[in-house]
Amino acid sequence: IVVAAVAFAACDSRQENARENNLERKADNLEDAADVVRTQAEKTADAVERNDPGLNSSTTEKTADAVREAGERKADALEDQADIEREKK
C-alpha cells in the first residue's frame, strides 16, 4: 500500500509539474508578445515622425504619442494576463 501511495504521489507530482510548466510557458509567451507589441508600436511611431513633412508637427507628435500609448496599454494588458497565468500555479 505504501508503494502504491508513493507511486500515485509521484504521478501527481509529474502531472502538477507539467501543468505548472505549461502555465509558465503560456505566461512567457504572453510576455514575449508584449515585447513585440511595444517594439512594433515604437517602430510605427518612429515612422509617423519620420514621414512628417513638417507642415503639422504638433499633429504628428500627438499621433506618434497615441501610437506609443496604445502599444503600451496593449502590452501592459498582455503582461497582466501573464501574471494571471502565473498565479494559477
Q: Which of 82, 5, 1 is nearest to 37 (CA)?
A: 82
Cβ atoms of 48 and 60 within 8 Å: the answer is yes
Calculate the alpha carbon distances from 28 to 17, 35, 40, 58, 89 in Å. 16, 11, 18, 38, 14
Calculate the alpha carbon distances from 85 to 2, 43, 70 in Å. 35, 29, 23
17-66 pLDDT tens trace:
999 999 999 999 999 999 999 999 999 999 999 998 777 789 999 999 99
- On whether the pTM is more than 0.75, the answer is yes
| Model pLDDT, residue 10 | 55
